Amino acid sequence: MSVVDKDSVGRGERQFHIGVAPGEVGSVVLMPGDPFRVPIVAEFLTDVREVAHRREHRTMTGYYQGKLITATSTGMGCPSTAIAVEELARVGVTSFIRVGSSAGLQPGIEPGDLLVSEGTLRNDGTTAAYAHPGFPAVPDLEIALSLRRQAARLAEGAGLGWHSGINASDDAFYAETPEWIAELNRLGVLNVEMESSAMYVVARLRGLRAGMICAASSNLVTGASVYDEGTSRLPDGWRCSIEAALATCVELDL
């Protein structure tokens, strides 16, 4: 019997799930959840080409201020995010910045506002398979600080607010009860999404760098939602978060 060691297979070749091979991506990747938001990242790039689109993972590359940038979608949730990070790392990516949507949990967060992550409460099952329950899910410090600077610079000009703090990653979108939302609010958790804990933990364990800047899609404690408005601020928030992430890539030469 020959037991497969998944930690050693697939290195240096085209990846099974995301369909990307070494030499097809840059050293830094922006990671929206939705594959149909990858082209929004590409709008900021030149010499764009689509590398692959398998399952929920769509990958495009291009240049921003002379730097090669890759965008790959994670899909929804920590399992597919962990796969994307693992496989991108195997083809040469060393830095990851999540750009997505997230729900606010504190008063004052309006739809479209920018949300910069300083760390994640691990309410998921994927990271439990990787690390001790007390292992922190935290971004790279330099990336987080740069994202804060860029958010502050860009938000005002776009007519958006910006916020920075601890977020939560949940596994089950429809299992978020009013009691759980109230508890996160009581703890001072800024926002909740479904991917960052896996990105942070896998990146740390592999010696890589990661950060996150999201746009608020709603506020779960005030009831504000992009769907309540005639025109949505969320696309403006997405573009602002992407621009902030790209500026961080250049500032830190990721």
Q: Is residue 6 part of a domain?
A: no
Q: Evaluate whether residue 18 is within a structural domain.
A: no
Structure tokens at 54: 């398998």
Q: Which is more confidently placed, 133 or 225?
A: 133
Confidence of residue 166 (pLDDT cuts 50, 70, 90): very high
Q: Is the pLDDT of residue 228 over 90?
A: no
Residue range 45-69: average pLDDT? 98
Q: How confident is the model at residue 230 (pLDDT cuts 50, 70, 90)?
A: low
- Average pLDDT, stretch 53-65? 98
Q: Is 117 part of any domain?
A: yes
Give the CATH number for residue 202. 3.40.50.1580
Q: Is the pLDDT of residue 73 over 60?
A: yes
β-strands 162-170, 67-72: how paired?
A: unpaired
Is a pLDDT exceeding 90 seen at residue 8?
no
d(CA 61, CA 81): 19
Is 9 part of any domain?
A: no
Q: Is residue 176 part of a domain?
A: yes
As for how many domains the chain has, the answer is 1
Domain range for 38 is 28-251
Write the CB contacts of 207 (distance below 8 Å, at least 6 apart in sequence): none
pLDDT of residue 10: 85
Q: What does the pLDDT look like over 136-156, one tens digit per residue?
A: 999 999 999 999 999 999 999
Dist CA 225 CA 204 (whole Å)? 34
Instruction: Write down the pTM of the prediction.
Output: 0.96
- Judge contact between 9 and 86, C-beta under 8 A: no
User: What is the model's pLDDT at position 229?
Assistant: 56
Residue type, 133: P
Farthest CA pair distance, the chain? 62
pLDDT category at 12 given cuts 50, 70, 90 is confident
Residue recorded with tokens 């790039």: 45
Residue 23 lies in a domain: no
**Residue 1 belongs to a domain:** no
Residue 19 lies in a domain: no
Residue 9 pLDDT: 82
